[in-house]
Chains A and B, each alone.
Chain A
Amino acid sequence: MSDHKPSGITRWIFTTNHKDIGTLYLWFAFIMFFVGGSMAMVIRAELLQPGMQVVDPLFFNSMTTMHGLIMVFGAVMPAMVGFANWMVPMMIGAPDMALPRMNNWSFWILPFAGTMLVSTLFMEGGGPAFGWTFYAPLSTTFAPQSTDFFIFAVHLLGFSSIMGAINIIATILNMRAPGMTLMKMPLFVWTWLITAFLLIAVMPVLAGAVTMMLTDRNFGTSFFDAAGGGDPVLFQHVFWFFGHPEVYIMILPSFGIVSQIIPTFARKQLFGYASMVYATAAIAFLSFIVWAHHMFTVGMPVAGELYFTYATVMIAVPTAVKVFNWTATMWKGSMTFETPMLWAVGFVFLFTVGGFTGLMMGVAPADFQYHDTYFIVAHFHYVLVPGAVFAIIGGIYYWIPKWTGNMYDEKLGKLHFWLSAISVNILFFPQHFIGLAGMPRRIPDYAVQFSEFNFMSSIGGFVFGATQLLFLYIVIKCIRGGEKATDQVWDNPEGLEWTIPSPAPYHTFETAPQIK
Chain B
Amino acid sequence: MPASKITKKLSSLICMALVLIPGLAFADYELNLTESVTALGKEIYDLHMLVLIICTVVCVAVFAVIIYSLINHRKSKGAKPATFHESATVEFIWTVIPFIILVIIAVPATKVLLKIEDASNPDLTIKATGWQWKWEYEYLDNGVHFFSNLDKASNDARQLGSKTDPRTVPNYLLDVDNPIVVPVNKKVRILTTANDVIHAWWVPELAVKRDAIPGFINESWFKAEKTGVYRGQCAELCGKDHGFMPIVVNVVSDSEYNDWVASQKKAMAAAKASAGKTWSKADLMKRGEEVYNASCAACHQANGQGIPGVFPGIAGSKVATGPVEGHIDIVINGKPGTAMQAFGTQLSPADSAAVITFQRNAFGNNTGDVVQPSQISR
Residues of A whose CB lies within 8 Å of any CB of B are 50-53, 55-58, 61, 123-126, 129-131, 135, 137-138, 141-142, 144-145, 225-227, 231-233, 266-275, 297-299, 302, 305-306, 309-310, 313-314, 316-317, 320-321, 323-324, 327-328, 330-337, 345, 348-349, 352-353, 356-357, 359-360, 363-366, 368-369, 371-373, 433-434, 436-438, 440-453
Contact = CB atoms under 8 A, between A and B. Distances in A.
B59 A144 contact: no
B44 A366 contact: yes
Interface stretch (B11-19, B95-103, B120-128, B326-334): B95-103
Interface in B140-182: 157-162, 164-167, 171-174
Nearest to B101: A316
A309 B98 CA distance: 15
B171 A436 contact: no
Contact of B235 (A58, A345, A373, A447): A373
A365 B173 contact: no
A443 B202 CA distance: 14
17 contacts: A51-B164, A61-B242, A138-B237, A141-B337, A142-B132, A145-B309, A226-B216, A232-B215, A271-B85, A272-B87, A297-B211, A305-B113, A331-B82, A336-B76, A349-B66, A366-B51, A443-B243
B70 A440 contact: no
Given A321-B94, A447-B172, A364 B109 contact: yes
Among A275, A299, A314, the one with the most B-chain Cβ atoms within 10 Å of its Cβ is A299
Contact of A135 (B58, B94, B198, B215): B198
Contact of A314 (B102, B114, B159, B162): B102
Nearest to B238: A138
B214 interface: yes
A352 B62 contact: yes
Given A306-B113, A372-B236, 13 more contacts: A50-B172, A61-B240, A266-B73, A268-B82, A299-B211, A316-B98, A320-B98, A331-B82, A333-B69, A368-B207, A438-B233, A443-B242, A445-B243
B86 A271 contact: yes
Interface of B: 23, 26-34, 44, 47-48, 51-52, 55, 58-59, 62-63, 65-66, 69-70, 73-76, 79-87, 90-91, 94-95, 98-99, 102, 105-106, 109-110, 112-114, 116-117, 132, 157-162, 164-167, 171-174, 196-198, 200, 202, 204, 207-211, 213-216, 218-219, 232-244, 307-310, 336-339
B308 to A, nearest CB: 6
B79 A125 contact: no
Given A135-B198, A333-B69, A446-B173, A272 B85 contact: yes
Contact of A272 (B23, B29, B91): B91
B55 A356 contact: yes
Contact of B99 (A129, A144, A267, A317): A317
Given A268-B83, A270-B85, A334-B79, A232 B213 contact: yes
Nearest to A139: B197
A433 B216 contact: no
A52 B165 CA distance: 10
Contacts of A50: 166-167, 172
Q: Which 9 A-B pairs have the closest CB atoms?
A: A226-B215, A125-B309, A443-B243, A124-B309, A299-B218, A332-B82, A437-B30, A356-B55, A50-B166
A314 B159 CA distance: 46
Given A442-B242, A446-B173, A333 B86 contact: no
A124 B308 CA distance: 6
Contact of A453 (B29, B58, B308): B29
Contacts of B161: 52-53
A352 B29 CA distance: 25
A20 B359 CA distance: 62
A126 B132 CA distance: 18
Contacts, number: 312
Given A51-B157, A123-B309, A452-B29, A330 B69 contact: yes
A225 B336 CA distance: 12
Contacts of A373: 235
A359 B55 contact: yes
A306 B240 contact: no
Given A272-B86, A369-B204, A51 B237 contact: no
B209 A369 contact: yes
B331 to A, nearest CB: 19
Contact of A442 (B51, B157, B167, B237): B237
B31 A433 contact: yes
B34 A438 contact: yes
A269 B85 CA distance: 7
Among B171, B196, B242, B307, the one with the most A-chain Cβ atoms within 10 Å of its Cβ is B242
Contacts of A321: 91, 94-95
B176 to A, nearest CB: 13
B198 A232 contact: yes
B200 A52 contact: no
A501 B115 CA distance: 65
Given A232-B198, A317-B95, A369-B33, A330 B66 contact: yes
A106 B107 CA distance: 48
B345 to A, nearest CB: 17
Given A331-B73, A433-B31, A452-B27, A349 B234 contact: no
Nearest to A432: B31
B81 A333 contact: yes
B214 A226 contact: yes
A449 B207 CA distance: 19
Contact of A61 (B158, B167, B237): B237
B65 A327 contact: yes
B209 A353 contact: no
A144 B311 CA distance: 10
B197 A138 contact: yes
Contacts of B197: 135, 137-138, 141-142
Contacts of A447: 171-174
A309 B241 CA distance: 32
B213 A298 contact: yes
A297 B200 contact: yes
B74 A336 contact: yes
Given A269-B85, A345-B70, A436-B32, A299 B216 contact: yes
B95 A366 contact: no
Given A137-B197, A227-B215, A440 B109 contact: no
Nearest to B173: A447
